[in-house]
Structure 1
Amino acid sequence: MQKSLLFLGALTIFMMGYWVPEDRHVPVEGAKPYDWNPASFWYVGGQNAQKGINIFARKGTSVEASTSGLVVYRDTDANGDKSVYVLGSKWRVHHYANMGEVDVIPGTWVRTGEKIGTVGTPKGTKASSRPANLYYSIRSLPPQVSELEPAKPFWLDRVFYVDPHKFLTEYQASDTGMLKAATAATAKNEPARH
């Protein structure tokens, strides 16, 4: 009986992660889809694959939470790159890297669109010539079985990552933008309806 209650409690907590609403917001102030390359997600170069996108902006531009969540980790690596990890709904960890400044600490709750830091420049020998950008990736803690494609490189890793371009453009909350409606209207040469 006690094991059943424990299992039921754990299952309830897990399912609550899917019940939390998920608003979406482009994480760099003023950025539009042309500020990143959607094809860079899963770009394979050598033995590594790009698991996110680089959103290009001027150094010092505000970085904003792409969705509400709990700040679970903040890091400055050996090269001086600063990053933040936010656990959002659906048990997705949103990773913001190449930051100039970080304005949040682990254990705090951030809301969609809230400033969490600023855009910086990548550090290290290979990245030193790159322009300022925010590296943004989304890791899904439970595997996404629908993304399982054994014929593709890194096929097993793919089930744990969400395409940031699709996440940011296929759905927009009503108060964070009319991107989808505006894009559809432009394709038809009509004004966007709000």
Structure 2
Amino acid sequence: MTERLDRIAEFLLQLDALKSVDRRTYINGGERLENSAEHSWHLAMACWAFAEQSQEDFDLSKLLRLALLHDLGEIGAGDTFLYSDQRSDAHLEERRYIGELASHPGNPIGDLPELWDEQEAGESREARLLKVIDRLLPFLHNLASQGRAWKDHGIRKSQVLRMHGFIEQENPEVYRWLRSKVDYAVAQGWLENA
């Protein structure tokens, strides 16, 4: 019993490392950068809220599990900025770490790799909603901080629209709202109009 609990405790401390992965998104109001654990919690809550008001029938348990684990690979790979040139390969190092985490002797989550792969592929209804909300939250943070991260990195309107373009097909209502906010951000000088 004690040995089993020791292994689970080690696994839980391994998960705790997600708190040490800083993102390039400022928390509400722009006081500091958020970490990936905070983002994962916020993502889970936001997915829950969207699922509750949606007309679609989501498997809420699966949706929350996908949200909570979607950034675990960043413990081993670090966070890759949305607008980074290395973004297309980031999942490879993240998946390698998920395999390592799954094989931890204290891991009680048997389907960890399969769930991570599902959220990465973005094909299930739950994974598609997750992808929309995962893009929406940093966008909201940029609005709340007057575009601080966008300005820090010289992000342009065209980059934001390209990285959020898939939302138009997944959720046209959210996309229309987002487009209006992009135009507002340009008018405020938070995004370059290019």
Q: TM-score, normalised on structure 2? A: 0.27
TM-score (norm. length: structure 1) = 0.27
Higher strand proportion = 1
Larger helix fraction of residues: 2
